[in-house]
Amino acid sequence: MKTAVLVFPGSNCDRDIAVALEQVTGTAPAMVWHAETALPDGIGLVAVPGGFSYGDYLRAGAIAARSPVMRAVVEAAGRGLPVLGVCNGFQVLTEAGLLPGALMRNAALSFVCRDAPLTVENADSAFTRLYEQGEQVAFPVAHHDGNYFADDTTLDRLEGEGRIAFRYATPINGSARDIAGILNDRGNVLGMMPHPERRIEAAHGGTDGRRLFEGLIETVGA
Amino acid sequence: MKLKVYVTLKPGVLDPQGRAIHHALGSLGFAGVEDVRVGRLIELTVADDTDDAAVEAMCRQLLANTVIENFRIERA
């Protein structure tokens, strides 16, 4: 499967996710600079990486979400192309309107950098199909703005439609209903604060993250 | 023409920064502070013929995230 990784000024997990994608797919992803106006042909996934795009100026992810390449991503997501946003990538996807809600400063105001135990809330999505419903996994988190906010109507809809993909097993940042990752209504866009790409090989301390990418390959087809 | 755009958190949206400042004011001995909310002031210099609709569009599309924030435009 061919994949693409977006690169913004200030992205810093673009190489981590590129390594993960290359390991799992066998093909190095195309690295796509934010100023591009089109995505490469024939890709099965766009990854929006973590980092501090544009120094988190204005709001985390706000400027990146208005960059030329994001217009192509919004259009491709509308056609059903899988899009994965991790950490700053999740913030970018909410700012771009591909996912509901917003990510605010952590409730305790402190940067959180540690392993986060998570519960898989939806094991039926293209991204989570190789996990068990209710399974506990642990991915690293490293963020200052991971406090998920949405109004109660939106939260109830996310719950009712099975669009909460991952929940923190214990609260870490004040997120509404302990939300760690959500899907769009069609299920082809996943945004999450924890980093599955940092749990790919034994040397990372675990391989829980690998199945997310493997499941996606199964869905999209190699 | 100079404009000021005030971006503030919507009522009901928790403001951890405001809470920390509130706490610090208490530590400094300032009594009677009931609440603190932190917002943002953006100053724009725009062409004189910029109409209200254009400024409002700037706010909606970029300056404020209307999921969590309100905005108010003030002409100098």
For chain B, domain boundaries: 2-75
Summarised one tens digit per residue, pLDDT across range A90-125 is 999 999 999 999 999 999 989 999 999 999 999 999
Contact B20 A102 (CB under 8 A): no
Which of chain B's residues have a Cβ under 8 Å away from the Cβ of A66? 61-62
**In 10 A of CB A117, how many CB atoms?**
14
Q: State residue B6 phi and psi, 5-degree precision.
A: -100, 120
Give the total number of structural domains in chain A: 1
Summarised one tens digit per residue, pLDDT across range B16-57 is 899 999 999 999 999 999 999 999 999 999 999 999 999 999
CA distance B65 to chain A (A): 8
Instruction: Check if the beta carbon of residue A101 is closer than 8 Å to that of residue A149.
Output: yes
CA distance A129 to chain B (A): 30
Choose the weakest-confidence range: A52-56, A117-121, A139-143, A218-222: A218-222
Structural domain boundaries enclosing A29: 2-220
What's the whole-number average pLDDT of chain B?
A: 95
Summarised one tens digit per residue, pLDDT across range A17-32 is 999 999 999 999 999 9
> What proportion of chain A, given as a percentage, has pLDDT over 90?
95
Instruction: Give mean pLDDT, residues A150-157.
Output: 97
What's the whole-number average pLDDT of chain A?
A: 96
Mutate to test the interface with B, among A104, A153, A173 (most CBs of B within 10 A): A104
Q: Is the pLDDT reported for residue A167 higher than 70?
A: yes
Known catalytic residues of A?
Answer: 87, 195, 197
Burial class (CB in 10 A: 0-12, 13-18, 19+), A119: middle
Nearest to A66 among B13, B14, B62 (CB): B62
Query: What three-state secondary structure class fits A148?
Result: strand
Which of chain B's residues have a Cβ under 8 Å away from the Cβ of A109? 16-17, 20
Give me the residue label for tokens 């991971």.
A146
Q: What is the CATH number of the domain that holds A70?
A: 3.40.50.880
> What whole-number distance in Å separates Cα of residue B2 and Cα of residue B44?
6
Q: Is the pLDDT reported for residue B14 higher than 80?
A: yes
At residue A170, what is the residue type? T
Judge whether A104 is closer than 8 Å to chain B, CB to CB.
yes
Q: Is the pLDDT reported for residue B12 higher than 90?
A: no
Nearest to A109 among B17, B63, B68 (CB): B17
Q: Is the pLDDT reported for residue A222 higher than 80?
A: no
Contact A149 B68 (CB under 8 A): yes
The tokens for A28 are: 């190095």
Query: What three-state secondary structure class fits B48?
Result: coil
Q: Is the pLDDT reported for residue A196 higher than 60?
A: yes
Contact B16 A105 (CB under 8 A): yes
One-character DSSP codes across A153-219: HHHHHHHHTT-EEEEESS-SS--GGGEEEEE-TTS-EEEESS-GGGSSSGGGT--TTHHHHHHHHHH
Q: State residue B42 phi and psi, 5-degree precision.
A: -115, 125
Higher pLDDT, B75 or A71: A71
Contact A107 B14 (CB under 8 A): yes
* Residue A28 pLDDT: 97
Instruction: Give mean pLDDT, residues B62-70.
Output: 96
Nearest to A62 among B16, B20, B62 (CB): B62
Out of 3.40.50.150, 3.40.50.300, 3.40.50.720, 3.30.1280.10, which CATH number does the structure's domain B2-75 have?
3.30.1280.10
* Residue A15 pLDDT: 97
Judge whether A220 is closer than 8 Å to chain B, CB to CB.
no
Contact A102 B68 (CB under 8 A): yes
